[in-house]
A and B are shown apart, each in its own frame.
Chain A
């Protein structure tokens, strides 16, 4: 009943004849193969994430085209200073993450833990700022739904210096479409924030494992792959920030 390709051997004696990492999984031939497979898998997962956010970006571009005046007016409701601060915070968290990967690669446990904590903290600051942005929308009734208020877009407040409205007033019909902007704003930034929250939970877990020294003896794959994920989440924001906050805010001016 034996097969010809795999002639019987004492497999246990031959397995792991090189010194193996404790994290080496038996079904991979080499550690190199395991590491490559993990990274490749992570990239593929990020590809699915791109497609996932792609649907939202597609919807945004479509409706921005259709309801341009409403999107411009609604976009002006977002705070550029807060958005910029958050972009800075997120870029530094990416920087700390990259340093964390470096620290794992040079096997410095203490540094790795510090950088992971710094990454987590910047992530939390980002979410905190986001909370205040959402809160402001809540107070101004700019959350889509039954309580959505379009009055600010139909009758924009008057600038005390020039005595002119600070915005081009919108017809009620178009002003209704600001709701589409805010729907997409909350769907996109909410989905991004959800990815941040998942990332922060994972960071806590990784920090705990790093503290135990799991990643300070040459096994860095989880840190590396999480780094890829974290940078991806940053990059999504790098696209969201200009699309939602920056582009074409004052077409008439």
Chain B
């Protein structure tokens, strides 16, 4: 069946195939059965719909920013409005899309299945986390509708507490509430992974996706509360004028920076680690090989989480921290590059001599590898003290973190959505169109953000809505790229919706992958497994899968 073709896709006979009669989607009917569900898979779907909404909302702001920057003059919006545009873009994308993107959707759906459990340890807390997310989202929308907020996503004091007259409190409370949704997701994952693994599912048989979500959960649980208390203090300083960060009241703005980045640097790893987990699964499946250096990849996730807590001051090199602490933080920053490089090299070695096929998830994964590497390497530039002084607060920074977050994380998210779409819905997405989308995204992305590296290096500062005319060519390229990128993101929205009704029936295991989730029906039952599975094979054991398939063929035949 797969001997002659260059694809591993193995679909059931479409003339006879049907979706399973009983599954989590049709287990109960009605809106309320979704809004009050305790099923981790349904909550994942709720999250998927909500984050998609906020992603496109944030995307609209990005589009407006790029449109304004098409010309050197400030012509589309006033400077105040521009400040609000990039602030809302940042707040929505970071807190409402990137942080929950993979963990709350794909992770929520898959972690219990991957470890052989019926559900997450605390289904009600899982549902509560979605409601908190929505409440935080509503606060953010309220801040937007009431007139926006223009602090940047960083809520920098004393700008945010003393000088501005925009809706900082509303947006701050929104982010505070979303933070708790993130804490509860992380807490649920950690308890589930520790306590709910099926018999035989040892730590070193866990899929690497579980490891990387575990590492991200540690960051969520330890980092987010610090952001929460920081935002509480910002709100209190703004409303009742307690003096903690505002120098006119005796406070210290640098303290805010320390507390804020103590969360927000690890938050970068909250965003990227689950994406790295997706890439491990996808690359192994489409190379038909066990992930090279499984334990090195697993431990590098934990190492990234650990080191991630000790590098925050590299956001503050130009803010007047002492030279000695800057030196130490610069060195520690270099250290984080090591586990990231371990991962990248191991993925490359996984592909070496593998039987690579170019399915859509794999195309996105290739995109991730290249873009994440560039994003990561430029991060090392910025971690170097001398370079940082020159490049910080320019478009170089903007390009760097978009390479990691959009080029890395969003590619990984889309790889994951395509990879597990058949499992979530029971149907395949259209192959040709999705490959087109992957290529469009890759081209659009590079066109948007590569020119920004050059712009930043030449000295164009971020967060301004006008610039000297000599920068226009590169800015036009960037805006053109953003248009292509926008199309690249619209395509999946359309064809994935289409596939819900018209996609080919996927069957249990269209990719012939080894994960536990592929051994059950698609879409799965509410309780995932008919009977608690007993695991007697290592992760990514394709020989085990071949034996199993052979056995099935002989018993059926």
Binding site for B on A (CB under 8 A): 1-9, 11, 14, 25-29, 33, 36-37, 40-41, 44-45, 47-49, 51-56, 58-59, 62-63, 66-67, 144-146, 176-177, 179-180, 182-184, 186-187, 191
Q: Mark B144-156, 1 if CB is under 8 A from A, else 0.
A: 0000000000000
Q: A5-B519, A144-B241, A187-B242 are in contact. Are A27 and B117 (CB under 8 A)?
A: yes
In addition to A51-B223, A56-B229, A56-B233, 14 A-B residue pairs with Cβ atoms within 8 Å of each other are A5-B533, A11-B530, A41-B188, A41-B191, A44-B187, A44-B191, A52-B228, A58-B259, A59-B233, A63-B250, A63-B252, A144-B249, A179-B243, A183-B249
Question: A6, B121: Cβ atoms under 8 Å?
Answer: no
Question: B255, A48: Cβ atoms under 8 Å?
Answer: no
B244 to A: closest C-beta gap in Å: 6
Q: A180-B244, A184-B244 are in contact. Are A27 and B119 (CB under 8 A)?
A: yes
B47 to A: closest C-beta gap in Å: 19
Binding site for A on B (CB under 8 A): 20, 117-119, 121-123, 125, 183, 187-188, 190-192, 194-196, 221-226, 228-230, 232-233, 236, 240-244, 249-252, 255, 258-259, 507-508, 516, 519-521, 527, 529-534, 548, 551-552
For the residues of A in contact with B, the DSSP-based class is: helix
For the residues of B in contact with A, the DSSP-based class is: helix
Q: A180-B244, A183-B243 are in contact. Are A52 and B229 (CB under 8 A)?
A: yes
Q: Which residues of A contact B192 (CB under 8 A)?
A: 37
Q: Which residues of A contact B249 (CB under 8 A)?
A: 144, 179-180, 183
Q: Which residues of B contact A9 (CB under 8 A)?
A: 530-531
Question: A144, B230: Cβ atoms under 8 Å?
Answer: no
Q: Which residues of B contact A187 (CB under 8 A)?
A: 232-233, 236, 242, 244
A214 to B: closest C-beta gap in Å: 17
Q: Which residues of A contact B195 (CB under 8 A)?
A: 33, 36-37, 40
Question: B243, A51: Cβ atoms under 8 Å?
Answer: no
Question: A53, B229: Cβ atoms under 8 Å?
Answer: yes
Q: Which residues of B contact A48 (CB under 8 A)?
A: 183, 187, 221-222, 224-225
Q: Which residues of B contact A4 (CB under 8 A)?
A: 519, 548, 551-552
Question: B191, A40: Cβ atoms under 8 Å?
Answer: yes
Max count, chain A CB within 10 A of own CB: residue among B187, B243, B249, B531? B243
Q: Which residues of A contact B190 (CB under 8 A)?
A: 44
Question: B244, A3: Cβ atoms under 8 Å?
Answer: no
Q: Which residues of B contact A7 (CB under 8 A)?
A: 530-531
A66 to B530, CA, bound (A): 63
Question: A180, B243: Cβ atoms under 8 Å?
Answer: yes
Partner of A27, one of B123, B187, B226, B259: B123
Q: Which residues of A contact B123 (CB under 8 A)?
A: 25, 27
Question: B224, A55: Cβ atoms under 8 Å?
Answer: no
B177 to A: closest C-beta gap in Å: 14
Question: B250, A6: Cβ atoms under 8 Å?
Answer: no
Question: B508, A54: Cβ atoms under 8 Å?
Answer: no
Q: A33-B195, A37-B196, A179-B243 are in contact. Are A27 and B229 (CB under 8 A)?
A: no
Max count, chain A CB within 10 A of own CB: residue among B119, B252, B530, B534? B530
Q: Which residues of A contact B240 (CB under 8 A)?
A: 144-145
A26 to B529, CA, bound (A): 13
A25 to B124, CA, bound (A): 11
A133 to B533, CA, bound (A): 59
